[in-house]
Structure 1
Amino acid sequence: MNIPANRWFAPGDLNGFLGLVVDNLSIMGFLAAALIGLFGFPADIVFLRMFPGTALGVLLGNLAYTAMARRLARRRGSNTVTAMPLGLDAPTSIGMALLVLGPAFLGFGQGGMDAHAAAIATWQLGMASLVVMGVLKFVLSFFGAMVQRHVPRAGLLGSIAGIALVLMGFLPLVEILKLPVVGFAGLGVVLYALVAHGRMPFGLPGVLVAFVLGALLYYGLGPLGWLGAGYHAPAAWQWRFALPWPTLQWVQGLAYIVPYLPLILPFGLLMVVGGINVTESARAAGDDYSTRDILLVEALATLAAGFCGGVAQTTPYIGQPSYKAMGARSGYTLLTGIVIGLGGVFGYLSNLVELVPLPVLAPILVFVAIGITVQAFEATPMRYAAAVVFSFFPAIARMLTIKLSDPAYVSPEHFAQLFNDGTHGISELAVITVLGNGFIITAMVWASFVVALIDRRPLRAALILLLGGALSLFGVIHSVELSGGIYLPWLLDAASRSIVWQFAGAYAVLAIVLVLLSLGGRGRAAVR
C-alpha cells in the first residue's frame, strides 16, 4: 500500500496556526501591558530587548518540534502525526511579570536607580532567571520521571492552579471589567467556544473571533466616547528592528537573583512535570514522542532565549490531541515559530501588542486559568481534592500582598509600619505577607503533607512538615523580608527572628503531633 507523502501543510494547519499564534501573542501582550501599564516600565526595553530573545525561544522550540514530528511521521510511514505545540508558558510568564520583574523594577527605583538603569537591571535579572530555569530543566529532563514520582500530583497541579486562579485569572478579570463592554463580550465568546464548545462561524478559532470582536468594539465605540477614559488612540506603527544576539548581560543579573529563587526554581520544575504530562497526552493520542527529547528541546529553547535577552520561558502546550483533532500536522508549528520569531526581530509583534488593549487580550488568560484550575481537580483523584484546595491559600496571600504593597494603595512607609506592628503578636499584614512569600513551594509542601495524611501515612507527612520547617528557617518559604529574600536566621533582627522561629516551630510541632498520633494509632491497632 502506498503511504501518502508527508506534506508540509495540511488543511487543519491554518486553524492550528491561528490558535497557537494568538495564545503566544496574548501572553506577550499581557507581559508588556503588565510591565508598561502597571509598573511604568520603559516600553523600549520591553520591545527592543525582552521581546526579541523571548520570541527566539518560541521560534527555535517550534522548529525543533516540527522536525521531530516529520521524523516520527517518516519512521511510522504516516501523514497523521501532529507536532507538539510550543509557546510561552502562561502561568509562569505572568508570574515573572507580576512577581519578579515588576517588583524588581520598583525595588531598583526605590534603591536610587533612574528608570532606565532600573529597567536594564530588571532585564538582566529576567535573563538570569531564564538561564537558571533552563539549566534546571536541562538537568531534570534526565530525571523528570523521578521528580514526578516523589512530588504528588496534587502538589504540582495545586500550586500551578493557585497561580492560575488568583494571578492569571482574577487579576486579568479585573482588567476585563475596567472596560466591561469590550472585555466581557470577548470573555463570553471565549467561554462559548472553548468551555461550551460552541461552533464559530466558518469554523474559525474561538480565540481569534474573541480578539476580533473585542478589537472592533474597542475601536468602534472608543472614538465615539462610549468607553470613557478607558479608550486610547492606537500608537503610530513603527518598525523596531532588533536582532536577538547572545549577550553575557545575564551574568550581571545573577547578582540580583537570590531573593527570587523560591519563585524561579519552582517555575522550572513545574515545566518539567508539565512536559512529561503533555508527552503522555500526545502518546495517548497516537504520537509517541520521546519524553526526554521533548524536555530537552524545552530546556534548550529556554536557555537560548535567556542568552539572547528573553525573560519568559517556553513550554510544550497542553492540548496536542486537540490540535490533532482539528487536522493540524507539522505546518502549524513551523508557521507559528516563523511568525513569532520574525515578529520579535522586526517589531511587528510589539505593534500588534500596542494595537490590542489588555481587556481584549485578557479573556484568553481567564479561560486558561479556568482550564488549569479544572485540570488540577480532574487529573487528581477526588480523594485528594482537599489537598488541592488547601494549596490555594498561599497564592491568595501572595495576591493580597501584591495589591497591599502597591504604593497606589498603601504607601511603603505605612505598609512597613503595619507589617512591623507586633502589639498583639504577629500582625495580620505580616501573616499575609509571610504566607505569600515563597507561595509556590509552600503550596507543594502543604498539598504533599495533606496527601500523605489522606493516604494514612502520618510519618511521611511529618517528614514533609520537617522539610517545610527547614525551608521556612532560611526564607525559602515564609520569608520575613518584604522582598521575599532568603537569609540566615541568626543574622536577622530580634522581631524578624521571632517570626521565623514561630513559623518553623509550627511545622516542627505539627510533625511531632503526627508522629505521636501515628504511634497511638498503632497501639490501638495492636490492642484490637
Structure 2
Amino acid sequence: MAAVSTRRWFVAGDLNGFFGLVVDNLSILGFIAAALIGIFGFPADVVYTRMFPGTAFGVLVGNLIYTWMGRRLAQRTGRDDVTSMPLGLDAPTSIGMALLVLGPSFVAYKQQGMDEQAAAIATWQLGMASLMVMGTLKLVLSFFGDAITRAVPRAALLGSIGGAALTLLGFLPLIETLRSPVVGFVTFGLLLYVLVAKGRLPIRIPGVLLAFIVGTLLYYGLGLAGLGTPGFKMPEAAPMRFTLPLPTLGFLEGLPQTVPYLPLLLPFGLLMVVGGINVSESARAAGDDYRTRDVLLAEAVSTLAAGLCGGVAQTTPYIGQPAYKHMGARIGYTLLTGLFIGLGGVLGYVSGLVQWLPIAVLAPIIVYVGMDITVQAFHDSPRRHAPAVALAFLPSVAYLLVIKLGNPAWIAPDRFAALYSAVDGHGLPDLAAIVTLGNGFIITAMIWSSALVAMIDQRFRRAAAVLLVGAGLTLFGFIHSVDPRGSIYLPWTLEGLPRAIAWQFAGAYVALALLLGLLSLQRHADPAGTETGARPDH
C-alpha cells in the first residue's frame, strides 16, 4: 500500500506549500524590480524581458531537481510523507545584488557617459556574470562544504550576513515601507502577527498571502479614494511577452566587471553553501534524509542555469522544509512552484504580477526576513560567541552610510571626493574611514568575528593568524578598499592618501596579530575558567 502511495504526485497539502513558496519568490522578484526601477531608474523592459526570464528559469530547474530527489527518496524508503526541499530566490543575496551590485553599477555606467539602454545592458551582463561566478564557486565548494563550516565559526558566518540583514534588508526596506505609512505599517504588522506572534486567522489561507492581499487592496483602495500617499497612480498594464530564456554568452562581456564586486560575490556564494548544509540538516531532523552534496549540487546547477540564460539572482534551498512538511506539502508543491514561476518568466505574467504589487506591500516581508536572519545569527551561535556576532554587524553599518552618502542626490561627486581627502591633522578623514570600513564589509565581518571567537575560546595564535589573513586581504582591497567604488588593486600602484590608508589599515591588523602572539605566551584561563599554560593551539 505504501509503495503505491509514494507514486502520488500531488496531495491536498501541496496547495498550501505552493502558495507559500510562490509568494516568497514573487516578493523577491518584486523587490528586485522595485529597487532597480524605482530607486535607480533602471529601464523596466530590461528587467522584465531580459533579467526575469532567466532568473525564473533557475527556479524552475532547481525545483524540478528537488522534486525528482523527493520522489526518489520516497520510492527508496517506501514512505508517503516525504517532503521535497523547497527552492527559490535567496532573499539576502538577491536584494544585495539589486542594491549593492546592479543598481550602483548602472549609475556608474551612466556617469561614464553610456546612454541609459547601453548602461542597462552592461549591467545585465554584469548580473549574469556575477551569477556564473557565484554558481561556479558553489559548484566547487559543494564537495567541501563540511570542511568550510568547520574552519569558519558559525558566529562569523551568521554574524556577517546578520549585519547585512539588519542594515540592508531591515533598515533600507523599512524606509520604503514607511513611504506609504498606512499601507506599509498595516502590512508589516499583519506579517508580524502571523509569522512572529503565530496569531490565528479567521480563514484558512497562508498568512503571507493574506498580508499581501490586504496590503494591496488597502494601497489601491486608498489611492483611488484620494487618501493614499501623494503621487499615487495606477500601474500601466504590461503586455504579455513571450520570452524564452535561451542560453547566451553575454555573461562573458560582464566577467571583467565582476572583479570590483568579488568581495561581495564570493561571500554570497559561500553563505549559500553553508546555508545549504544547514537546510540539509534541518530536513534530516524532520525525517527526510537528503544527501547534503546532492542538495548543494542542485543549488549550484540551478544558479548556473539561471546565469547562463540571463538571470541575475541566485537560487537556494529554503530553510523552511519542516514548515512545509507541517503544512501537509509533499512532493507536488515544488513541481507546481517551479512550473508557475518558470512559465511565468517565459509568458510574462510574473512581470505583470510584480508590477501590480506595491513596494510598500513587498518591502515589509523583506524587513521580516532581515529580522529573522538577525535573530538566527544570535540564536544559532554559541551563547559565549554573542559578542562576536554583534561585532560582525558594525562593518555593515559603515556600508549603509556609504550607500546613502554616495548618492549624488545627497552629496555631489566633487563634494564627496573633497570630503574623502580632507585631512585635518586629527587622523584620517571621517568619510575615508567610513568608506574604507564599509568596502568588503561581509568579509571584514567574518575576519573580525572569527578573530574574536578565537580569542573568546582562548586560541590567541589562531586569532593572530586570522588577523594576518585580514592584513593580506586589506593590501589588495578585498576588504577596506581605498577605492570609493570598492575595487581591488595591487598595493604598489597606490599613491598619496589612498596608499597611506591602505598600509595603515594593513599595519593595524599586523600590529594586533603580533600583540596577540606575544600574549599567547603567558599563562591564562581557558573558557571554563581554569588556568593553563601556553599551548600550540592558542
| Secondary structure, counterpart of 1:391 in structure 2 | helix
Per the alignment, residue 446 of structure 1 pairs with 448
**Conserved 8 A contact 2:447-2:470:** yes
Question: Is 2:283 the counterpart of 1:288?
Answer: no
Per the alignment, residue 516 of structure 1 pairs with 518
CA RMSD of aligned residues (A): 1.3
Q: Shift of the alpha carbon at 1:374?
A: 0.8
Whichever residue aligns with residue 361 of structure 1, its letter is L
**Conserved 8 A contact 1:47-1:240:** no
What is the alpha-carbon distance in structure 2 between the residues aligned to residue 30 and residue 2 of structure 1? 43
Question: Is 2:400 the counterpart of 1:399?
Answer: yes
Q: Shift of the alpha carbon at 1:521?
A: 3.0
What is the alpha-carbon distance in structure 2 between the residues aligned to residue 116 and residue 356 of structure 1? 25
What is the alpha-carbon distance in structure 1 between the residues aligned to residue 158 and residue 417 of structure 2? 33
Runs of 4+ in 1 over 6 A off after TM superposition: none
Q: Which residue, out of 427, 430, 445, partners 1:428?
A: 430
Question: Is 2:462 the counterpart of 1:455?
Answer: no
Whichever residue aligns with residue 479 of structure 1, its letter is S
Q: Deviations over 1:433-452 (max 9, x none)?
A: 11010011001101100000
Q: Deviations over 1:457-476 (max 9, x none)?
A: 00000000000011000000
- TM-score scaled by length of structure 2: 0.96
Q: Shift of the alpha carbon at 1:347?
A: 0.8
Whichever residue aligns with residue 203 of structure 1, its letter is R
What is the alpha-carbon distance in structure 2 between the residues aligned to residue 521 and residue 400 of structure 1? 42
| Secondary structure, counterpart of 1:231 in structure 2 | coil
Structure 1 gaps, min length 5: none
Q: Shift of the alpha carbon at 1:310?
A: 0.3
Q: Deviations over 1:72-97 (max 9, x none)?
A: 00111111000000000000001101
- In the superposition, relative to structure 1, how do residues 2 and 72 fare at CA in structure 2: closer, same or farther (>3 Å)? closer
Structure 2 gaps, min length 5: 526-530
Q: Which residue, out of 495, 499, 502, partners 1:500?
A: 502
Whichever residue aligns with residue 96 of structure 2, its letter is G
- In the superposition, relative to structure 1, how do residues 362 and 522 fare at CA in structure 2: closer, same or farther (>3 Å)? closer
| Secondary structure, counterpart of 1:201 in structure 2 | coil
What is the alpha-carbon distance in structure 2 between the residues aligned to residue 381 and residue 86 of structure 1? 28
Per the alignment, residue 360 of structure 2 pairs with 359
Q: Shift of the alpha carbon at 1:159?
A: 0.9
Q: Deviations over 1:39-60 (max 9, x none)?
A: 1111111001000000000000
What is the alpha-carbon distance in structure 2 between the residues aligned to residue 41 and residue 309 of structure 1? 16
Q: Shift of the alpha carbon at 1:201?
A: 2.8
Q: Shift of the alpha carbon at 1:295?
A: 0.3
Q: Shift of the alpha carbon at 1:114?
A: 0.7
What is the alpha-carbon distance in structure 2 between the residues aligned to residue 292 and residue 433 of structure 1? 38
Q: Shift of the alpha carbon at 1:407?
A: 1.0
What is the alpha-carbon distance in structure 2 between the residues aligned to residue 2 and residue 451 of structure 1? 49
Question: Is 2:409 the counterpart of 1:408?
Answer: yes
Q: Shift of the alpha carbon at 1:358?
A: 0.5
What is the alpha-carbon distance in structure 2 between the residues aligned to residue 96 and residue 52 of structure 1? 17
What is the alpha-carbon distance in structure 1 between the residues aligned to residue 76 and residue 340 of structure 2? 28
Per the alignment, residue 180 of structure 1 pairs with 181
What is the alpha-carbon distance in structure 1 between the residues aligned to residue 385 and residue 364 of structure 2? 29
- In the superposition, relative to structure 1, how do residues 464 and 338 fare at CA in structure 2: closer, same or farther (>3 Å)? same
**Conserved 8 A contact 2:2-2:78:** no
Q: Deviations over 1:132-153 (max 9, x none)?
A: 1111000000111011110110
Per the alignment, residue 49 of structure 1 pairs with 50
| Secondary structure, counterpart of 1:202 in structure 2 | coil
Q: Shift of the alpha carbon at 1:232?
A: 2.1
Per the alignment, residue 478 of structure 1 pairs with 480
**Conserved 8 A contact 1:218-1:231:** no
What is the alpha-carbon distance in structure 1 between the residues aligned to residue 208 and residue 523 of structure 2? 54
| Secondary structure, counterpart of 1:122 in structure 2 | helix
Per the alignment, residue 39 of structure 2 pairs with 38
Q: 1:380-395 to 2 correspondence within 5 Å?
A: 380-395=381-396
Q: Shift of the alpha carbon at 1:522?
A: 6.3
Q: 1:17-36 to 2 correspondence within 5 Å?
A: 17-36=18-37
Per the alignment, residue 528 of structure 2 pairs with none
What is the alpha-carbon distance in structure 1 between the residues aligned to residue 445 and residue 22 of structure 2? 32
Whichever residue aligns with residue 319 of structure 1, its letter is G
Whichever residue aligns with residue 326 of structure 1, its letter is M
Per the alignment, residue 278 of structure 1 pairs with 279
In the alignment of these two chains, the number of paired residues is: 527
Question: Is 2:208 the counterpart of 1:228?
Answer: no
| Secondary structure, counterpart of 1:520 in structure 2 | coil
| Secondary structure, counterpart of 1:168 in structure 2 | helix
What is the alpha-carbon distance in structure 2 between the residues aligned to residue 420 and residue 311 of structure 1? 35
Whichever residue aligns with residue 261 of structure 2, its letter is Y
Q: Shift of the alpha carbon at 1:203?
A: 2.2
Per the alignment, residue 5 of structure 2 pairs with 5
Per the alignment, residue 114 of structure 1 pairs with 115
**Conserved 8 A contact 1:179-1:230:** no
| Secondary structure, counterpart of 2:245 in structure 1 | coil
